């Protein structure tokens, strides 16, 4: 099945670039930048990756990001992800980044955007992989900071296609960020948001109706509300689901309990993605493999997920059709 999975052309629509920082790279960068990490070794970092919920992960994730300092660091991080994604058959990547994680440490947009853009341009040449960025607002910070962030981002938006909303979900509902989303829309950006990962179905409704998002990240708790499911099916709203992440953050007890099969049966437009692969034990191919191994997904289901991922992407209709035609040939 590994061969089938890596040959299936697919889009990855839910991956946080800061969540692709492998412990080895974290240590290399910390060393070359003279940054003190709160861990003594790669083994100690990995041992700390025992999460009880989203917050327990985020606390460590923001510490790890401190190693990232220079344009070269951001270039190396993005290159490592895109090289790895290419081996998993990813032909299109829409990649989250958290500017506030960096600007709050005194690292400006020009530093990370230069590194990201150069790596993305090189990956097009090396792998033919197409990539764009999604700028995420950190929802645990005041909504005014999100507004200041999108205004500060304005001169740096080349390669950014959309805005998103991530970090601690419960207690930070989507409607707090309506002004930042309105500004982003006035800049020509599209919109997505994390909702229904730990938060209730109401957060999914408000992301759709108040923020006007086109895609929901996670959305697994949508199943608790049949009216919401009907709405998501009717409007073919894509949900970017991350099975191994949901297991690692205890959103579900195990892969065998994951609601993905029920979501597919309900007619939802679901795709499979890695979220923070360096922290959750696997890249996008590992997520597909987990579904095959534990839930018995066969070629038909895996192909449907790959097809959904392309359909859910922000590619133009022409490029979607070309990639879908290629998928059918494979
Ligand atoms: N930031 C990185 N990964 C995240 C997740 N799974 N949920 C919310 N914020 C995140
Ligand atoms: Zn996420």
| pLDDT single digits (tens) 214-250 | 999 999 999 999 999 999 999 999 999 999 999 999 9
SS (H, E, C) 135-183: EEEECCCCHHHHHHHHHHHHHHCCCEEEEEEECCCCCCCHHHHHHHHHH
- Structure pTM? 0.98
User: What pLDDT was estimated at residue 151?
Assistant: 98
SS3 212: coil
Identify the CATH number of the domain in which residue 298 sits.
3.20.20.140
Per the structure, the complete domain to which residue 204 belongs is given by: 2-329
- 272 C-alpha to ligand 1 centroid (Å): 15
Long-range CB pairs of 34-38 (<8 Å, 24+ gap) are 35/66, 35/67, 35/69, 37/63, 37/64, 37/66, 37/67, 38/63
Instruction: Note whether 10 and 89 are within 8 A (CB).
Output: yes
User: What pLDDT was estimated at residue 240?
Assistant: 99
Q: Which of 17, 58, 64, 277 to mutate to test the pocket of ligand 1 (most atoms within 8 A of CB)?
A: 58
CB neighbours of 178 closer than 8 A, spacing ≥ 6?
Answer: 210, 211
User: What pLDDT was estimated at residue 2?
Assistant: 83
User: Is 154 a catalytic site residue?
Assistant: no
Using the predicted structure, report yes or no on whether residue 88 has a pLDDT greater than 90: yes
- 230 C-alpha to ligand 1 centroid (Å): 26
Tell whether ligand 1 has an atom less than 6 A from the beta carbon of residue 19.
yes
Is the CA virtual torsion 78, 82, 83, 84 positive or negative?
Answer: positive
Which one of 12, 18, 169, 197 is the catalytic residue? 197
Instruction: Note whether 164 and 190 are within 8 A (CB).
Output: no
Token pair 């990547």 is found at 93
Nearest to 227 by CA among 250, 247, 251, 209: 209
Number of domains into which the chain is organized: 1
User: What is the DSSP annotation of 86-139?
Assistant: HHTTEEEEEEEE-HHHHHTTT--HHHHHHHHHHHHHHHHHHH--EEEEEEEEET
Confidence of residue 1 (pLDDT cuts 50, 70, 90): confident
Helix, strand and coil percent figures for the chain, each rounded to 5:
55, 15, 30
Atom of ligand 1 nearest to the CA of 242: 6
């Amino acid at each position: 099945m590994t061969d089938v999975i890596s040959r299936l052309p697919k889009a990855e629509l839910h991956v946080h670039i800061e969540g692709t920082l492998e412990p080895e790279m974290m240590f290399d960068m910390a060393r070359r930048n003279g940054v003190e990490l709160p861990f003594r070794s790669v083994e100690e970092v990995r041992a700390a990756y025992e999460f009880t919920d989203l917050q327990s992960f985020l606390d460590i994730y923001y510490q790890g990001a401190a190693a990232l300092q220079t344009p070269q660091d951001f270039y190396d991080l993005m290159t490592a992800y895109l090289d790895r994604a290419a081996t998993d058959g990813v032909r299109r990547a829409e990649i989250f980044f958290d500017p506030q994680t960096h600007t709050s440490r005194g690292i400006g947009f020009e530093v990370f955007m230069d590194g990201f853009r150069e790596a993305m341009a090189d990956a097009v040449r090396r792998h033919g992989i197409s990539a764009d960025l999604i700028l995420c607002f950190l929802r645990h910070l005041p909504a005014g900071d999100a507004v200041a962030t999108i205004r500060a981002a304005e001169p740096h938006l080349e390669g950014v296609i959309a805005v998103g909303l991530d970090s601690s979900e419960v207690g930070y509902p989507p409607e707090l960020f309506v002004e930042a989303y309105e500004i982003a829309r006035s800049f020509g950006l599209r919109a997505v948001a994390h909702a229904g990962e730990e938060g209730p179905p109401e957060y999914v409704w408000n992301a759709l109706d108040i923020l006007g998002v086109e895609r929901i990240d996670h959305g697994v708790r949508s199943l608790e509300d049949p009216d919401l499911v009907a709405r998501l099916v009717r409007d073919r709203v894509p949900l970017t689901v991350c099975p191994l992440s949901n297991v690692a953050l205890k959103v579900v007890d195990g892969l065998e309990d994951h609601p993905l099969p029920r979501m597919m049966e309900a007619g939802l437009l679901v795709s499979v993605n890695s979220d923070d692969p360096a922290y959750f034990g696997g890249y996008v191919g590992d997520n597909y493999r987990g579904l095959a191994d534990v839930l018995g997904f066969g070629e038909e289901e895996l192909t449907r997920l790959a097809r959904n991922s392309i359909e859910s992407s922000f590619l133009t209709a022409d490029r979607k059709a070309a990639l879908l035609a290629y998928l059918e040939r494979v």
